[in-house]
Structure formats: C-alpha cells, structure tokens
C-alpha cells in the first residue's frame, strides 16, 4: 500500500511538472514582438518630426511593452534575440534623439538670445528718441527671427512665449 501511494504521488507530481502548461502561444509572441517593434518605429518617426519629448512617458510605455514581451518569451522558453535587437535599436534612437534635442535647444537659445539682445538694444535706443524700424534689423537678428518662426512649433513653451512677446512688440513699433 505504501509503495502504491508513493507511486501515485510520484506520478501526480511528475504529471504536474511535465504538463507545464504555457499561458501564451506563438501568436502572442509574434504580437508582442510586433507591438514593440511598431512602438520603436513610432518613437523613431516622432523624434525626426519634433525634437523635444517627454522621455519619461516614452520610456514608461516602452518598458511596459518590453516587460510583456519578455514574459511571453520566457513562458514560451524562446530565445529573446529579437527583443535584444529591438532594445539596442530603441536605446540608440533615444540616445541620438536626446543629443539632437539638446542641440536643438542650444540653437533655439542662441537665436532667442540674439533676438533678445537686439531687442534690448533697440528698446534702449527708442527710449533715447531714436526710432528703429524693421529695416534696421541686423542680418543675424533677422536670421534668428526667421529660424525661430520656422521652428516655432518645436520650441519649448518658454521660448515660444518670449518669441511671441517680442514679435508682438515688433509689430506695434
């Protein structure tokens, strides 16, 4: 009887471990991989269009998709080479985009500083009685105004506000 009970318990345990039922299917693996790739593609496209982003939100969504994919791959006991390649690509995109964003911000700041310096000088001259017109705008300042106007939608909120204030005052004068 003891042997029979041991065999039954052993068989049950063996059946439990050998039946290791999977929660996910191959279709789930393809789906999570595609979702992750599509997200990385959309991030890559977005950073080409607009240089300034909320990286914590982007990273949070990526991490969520990546964690889900890792669970599926782990459950299916599949090598995650695809995930590693996607992660490397994502990290490269983010690194390059952040560098590009910093460069854009530096450029915007340089142009805004140029315009503000010109504006401060111009308003000081007006207070002395000298009237300046749009024709008096120096080439470098006009180039900065043009650049800021062209890239207005991509500027930070603070820079947009500063540019709008100066543009309105320029139109009044």
Question: Which range of residues forms the domain containing residue 120?
Answer: 19-172
Burial class (CB in 10 A: 0-12, 13-18, 19+), 118: buried
Query: Domain for residue 38, yes or no?
Result: yes
Query: Domain for residue 53, yes or no?
Result: yes
CA 40 to CA 55: how far, in whole Å?
13
Q: Which residue has the higher pLDDT, 91 or 143?
A: 91
Quote the number of domains for the chain: 1
Query: Domain for residue 32, yes or no?
Result: yes
Cα atoms found within 13 Å of the Cα of residue 39, Cβ hemisphere only: 23
Model confidence band, residue 116 (pLDDT cutoffs 50, 70, 90): confident
Predicted local confidence at residue 16, as pLDDT: 43
Q: What is the average pLDDT value for the chain, to the nearest integer? A: 80
Query: Domain for residue 103, yes or no?
Result: yes
DSSP class of residue 155 equals S
Q: Residues for the chain: how many in total?
A: 173
108 touches 155 (CB < 8 A):
yes
Query: Domain for residue 12, yes or no?
Result: no
Q: Region 4-27: what's the mean pLDDT?
A: 56
Query: Domain for residue 50, yes or no?
Result: yes
What token pair was written down for 80? 């995650």
Burial 17-27 (b: 16+ CB within 10 A, else e): eeeeeeebeee
Q: Is the pLDDT of residue 19 over 50?
A: no
Query: Domain for residue 4, yes or no?
Result: no
Question: In 10 A of CB 50, how many CB atoms?
Answer: 12
Query: Domain for residue 3, yes or no?
Result: no
Model confidence band, residue 128 (pLDDT cutoffs 50, 70, 90): low
User: The pTM is what?
Assistant: 0.65
Which ranges in the chain belong to alpha helices (H)? 2-18, 26-49, 55-76, 81-127, 139-150, 157-172
């Amino acid at each position: 009887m003891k042997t029979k009970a041991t065999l039954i318990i052993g068989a049950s345990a063996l059946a439990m471990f050998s039946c290791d039922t999977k929660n996910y299917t191959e279709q789930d693996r393809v789906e999570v991989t595609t979702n992750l790739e599509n997200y990385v593609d959309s991030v890559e496209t977005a950073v080409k269009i607009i240089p300034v982003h909320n990286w914590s939100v982007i990273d949070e969504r990526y991490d969520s998709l990546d964690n889900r994919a890792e669970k599926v791959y782990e459950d299916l006991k599949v090598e995650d080479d695809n995930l590693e390649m996607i992660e490397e690509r994502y990290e490269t995109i983010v690194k390059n985009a952040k560098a590009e964003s910093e460069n854009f911000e530096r450029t915007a700041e340089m142009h805004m500083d140029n315009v503000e310096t010109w504006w401060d000088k111009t308003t000081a001259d007006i207070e002395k009685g000298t009237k300046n017109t749009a024709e008096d705008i120096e080439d470098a300042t006009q180039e900065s105004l043009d650049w800021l106007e062209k890239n207005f939608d991509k500027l930070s909120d603070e820079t947009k506000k500063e540019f709008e204030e100066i543009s309105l005052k320029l139109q009044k004068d």
